[in-house]
């Protein structure tokens, strides 16, 4: 098993870990962090595929890597937009809950 295959398998685990965090964490910011972990796992799988395409004197296929640069930048833009939405939610409703009936601020469910 080459190092690239090992890295790709670890990246599959990263996707799973991120997905678990996305479902289980109640606070939207934690969900966002888990979502970013999941996204980075997907990027690494793609990067391992790029490495497998080494040819013509280049150590890796440059086309997927260029797409990955675009992906990382767009992921940052999406994260920034989500953070702005979250801050606005807190400003308007006073809580960061995504439930229909948010709990009271001291932690008691209504």
DSSP 19-54: HHHHHH--SHHHHHHHHHHHHHHHHHHHHHHHHHT-
Is the alpha carbon torsion for 81, 87, 92, 93 positive or negative?
positive
100 is an interface residue for another protein by CB under 8 A = no
23 is an interface residue for another protein by CB under 8 A = yes
Tell me which residue has tokens 């793609």. Answer: 46
Binding-residue pattern over the window 50 to 79 for another protein, x denoting contact by CB under 8 A: xxxxxxxxxxxxxx-xxxxxx-xxxxxxxx
What is the footprint of another protein within residues 34-53 (CB under 8 A)? 34, 36-37, 40-41, 43-45, 47-53
Give least dist CB 76 to another protein, A. Answer: 5
């Amino acid at each position: 098993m080459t190092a690239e295959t090992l890295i790709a398998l670890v990246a599959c685990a990263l996707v799973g870990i991120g997905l678990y965090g996305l479902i289980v964490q109640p606070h939207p910011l934690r969900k966002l962090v888990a979502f970013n972990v999941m996204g980075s796992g997907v990027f690494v799988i793609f990067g391992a595929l790029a490495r497998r395409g080494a040819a013509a004197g280049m150590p890796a296929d440059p086309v997927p890597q260029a797409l990955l640069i675009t992906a990382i930048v767009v992921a940052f833009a999406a994260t920034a937009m989500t953070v702005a939405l979250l801050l606005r939610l807190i400003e308007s409703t006073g809580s960061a809950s995504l439930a229909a009936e948010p709990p009271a601020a001291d932690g008691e469910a209504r």
